[in-house]
């Protein structure tokens, strides 16, 4: 099965393989529009198949643009090329004594550029741990050789935040060349595993944590295993106290493990992350985001035979995860309807502002158009 088949993507008419950010820049800046449009493809996870359906396109594969450009342990920031895979970055941080604790679980083989460029039709929610929420700088290039750089300084009030032309932009307005992420020093960690047979139980444990003032760095629930796993990082005395308080507060069995176990478990979960395009393209699976209450309702009401439900991102009010049907994907319709980022099909139109900007930035239609 080809890379494209695995990801449910139509095959391109040609491929480009830049080797570093300079070659990626040239690839975009020097395209003159005489070829079919360019589609930026990292791990393939940000690309919506319907975007490329029926389109002749040239794939710009960024997987070799994958250097960790600099690691600044003092400021706790790391700059990577856009094609750097999450798993590579995570292991580098581990080696450097830094931490990915501010990020939700990500697929190991997803590229940083792809995770940023992926269009997520959702308002951000505090504490969700999206890559974009911890990206403090990026540089990019547009098809008219226009380069853009966002200064790596915390926050700014200097006008519109042009990073968001590229974040969520699916490569339609330019290519992200590199990004700088917040990666603070590693602290003590605890891995907690609690029994949670159903989604309601998993929600109950999270509610209990919220009442106790505990915010896990990541949290993962799998219906098939009946377990909720989460990790806390921080000063040893505080994470120890947090674990003991949680153990006392919940009425299920709680297992607690140390720092290395927490890091190892993160690696395992991310290596097998269900959001990997090659898995989620499977016919019987649906990746989506739901309000907690609405997912609970659908799960309670549904008579669909489910193979599994996996939730890998737990924000305050909503969860992100994957539902796998026992039979066909059509049976997942109630879950699709309940999702807050439900697929729009053909009903959504390109925003007027986007059309105007696209015309100005990419007059030659060098890059694929998301509308």
CA distance 118 to 291: 21
Query: Which lies closer to other proteins via its Cβ, residue 34 or residue 155?
Result: 155
CB of 14 to other proteins, least distance (A): 25
Assess 349 for contact with other proteins (CB under 8 A).
Answer: yes
Assess 353 for contact with other proteins (CB under 8 A).
Answer: yes
Q: Which residue has the tokens 């158009």?
A: 369
Interacting span for other proteins (CB under 8 A) from 31-39, 106-114, 148-156, 195-203? 148-156
Assess 154 for contact with other proteins (CB under 8 A).
Answer: yes
Residue 118, judged by CB atoms within 10 A of its CB (0-12, 13-18, 19+), counts as: buried
CA distance 80 to 93: 12
| Position among 355, 364, 365, 366 found at the interface with other proteins (CB under 8 A) | 355
Assess 233 for contact with other proteins (CB under 8 A).
Answer: yes
Query: Which lies closer to other proteins via its Cβ, residue 177 or residue 306?
Result: 177
Cβ proximity of 138 and 79 under 8 Å? no
Nearest to 39 by CA among 18, 21, 63, 15: 15
Query: Which lies closer to other proteins via its Cβ, residue 233 or residue 277?
Result: 233
Cβ proximity of 284 and 324 under 8 Å? yes
CA distance 80 to 139: 11
Radius of gyration of the CA atoms of the chain, in A:
21
By rule CB under 8 A, what count of residues binds other proteins? Answer: 84
Interacting span for other proteins (CB under 8 A) from 269-277, 300-308, 320-328, 352-360? 352-360
3-class SS of residue 14: strand
CB of 1 to other proteins, least distance (A): 29
The contact pattern for other proteins, residues 95-134, with x = CB under 8 A and - = no contact, is ------xx----------------x-xxxxxx--------
Site for other proteins in 256-285 (CB under 8 A): none
CB of 295 to other proteins, least distance (A): 14
Tokens of 127: 């504490």
Assess 172 for contact with other proteins (CB under 8 A).
Answer: yes
27 Cβ contact list (under 8 Å, min separation 6) = 16, 18, 38, 60, 175
3-class SS of residue 105: coil
| Position among 23, 195, 308, 341 found at the interface with other proteins (CB under 8 A) | 341
| Position among 95, 159, 283, 328 found at the interface with other proteins (CB under 8 A) | 159
CA 261 to chain centroid: 23
| Position among 7, 79, 163, 227 found at the interface with other proteins (CB under 8 A) | 163
Assess 72 for contact with other proteins (CB under 8 A).
Answer: yes
What is the DSSP annotation of 183-235?
Answer: -PBP-EEEEEEEE--SHHHHHHHHHHHHHHT---SEEEEETTTTEEEEEEEE-
| Position among 242, 262, 309, 310 found at the interface with other proteins (CB under 8 A) | 242
CA distance 121 to 126: 16
Assess 29 for contact with other proteins (CB under 8 A).
Answer: no
Assess 370 for contact with other proteins (CB under 8 A).
Answer: yes
The contact pattern for other proteins, residues 176-205, with x = CB under 8 A and - = no contact, is ------x-xx-x------------------
């Amino acid at each position: 099965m080809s890379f494209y088949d695995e990801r449910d993507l139509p095959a391109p008419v040609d491929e480009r393989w830049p080797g570093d950010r300079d070659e990626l820049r040239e690839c975009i800046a020097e395209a003159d529009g005489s070829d079919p449009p360019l589609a930026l493809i990292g791990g393939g996870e940000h690309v919506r198949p319907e975007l490329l359906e029926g389109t002749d396109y040239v794939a710009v594969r960024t997987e070799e643009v994958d250097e960790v450009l600099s690691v600044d342990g003092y400021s706790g920031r790391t700059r990577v090329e856009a094609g750097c895979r999450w798993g590579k970055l995570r292991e580098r941080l581990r080696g450097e004594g830094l931490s990915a604790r501010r990020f939700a679980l990500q697929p190991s083989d997803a590229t940083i550029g792809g995770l940023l460029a992926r269009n997520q039709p959702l308002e951000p929610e505090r504490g969700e741990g999206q890559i974009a929420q911890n990206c403090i700088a990026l540089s990019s290039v547009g098809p008219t050789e226009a380069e853009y750089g966002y200064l790596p300084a915390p926050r700014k009030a200097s006008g519109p935040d042009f990073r968001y032309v590229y974040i969520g932009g699916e490569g339609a307005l330019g290519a992200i060349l590199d990004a700088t992420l917040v990666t603070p020093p590693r602290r003590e960690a605890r891995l907690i595993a609690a029994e949670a047979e159903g989604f309601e139980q998993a929600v109950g444990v999270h509610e209990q944590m919220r009442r106790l003032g505990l915010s896990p760095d990541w949290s993962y629930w799998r219906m098939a295993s009946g377990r909720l796993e989460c990790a806390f990082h921080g000063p040893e005395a505080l994470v120890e106290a947090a674990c003991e308080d949680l153990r006392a507060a919940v009425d299920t069995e709680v297992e607690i493990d140390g720092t290395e176990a927490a890091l190892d478990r993160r690696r395992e979960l991310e290596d097998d992350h269900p959001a990997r395009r090659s898995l989620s393209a499977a016919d019987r699976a649906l990746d989506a985001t739901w309000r907690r209450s609405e997912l609970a309702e659908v799960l309670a009401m549904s008579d669909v035979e489910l193979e599994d439900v996996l939730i890998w991102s737990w924000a305050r009010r909503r969860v992100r995860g994957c539902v796998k049907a026992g039979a066909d994907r059509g049976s997942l319709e109630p879950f699709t309807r309940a999702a807050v980022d439900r697929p729009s099909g053909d009903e959504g139109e390109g925003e007027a502002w986007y059309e105007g900007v696209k015309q100005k930035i990419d007059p030659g239609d060098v890059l694929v158009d998301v509308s």
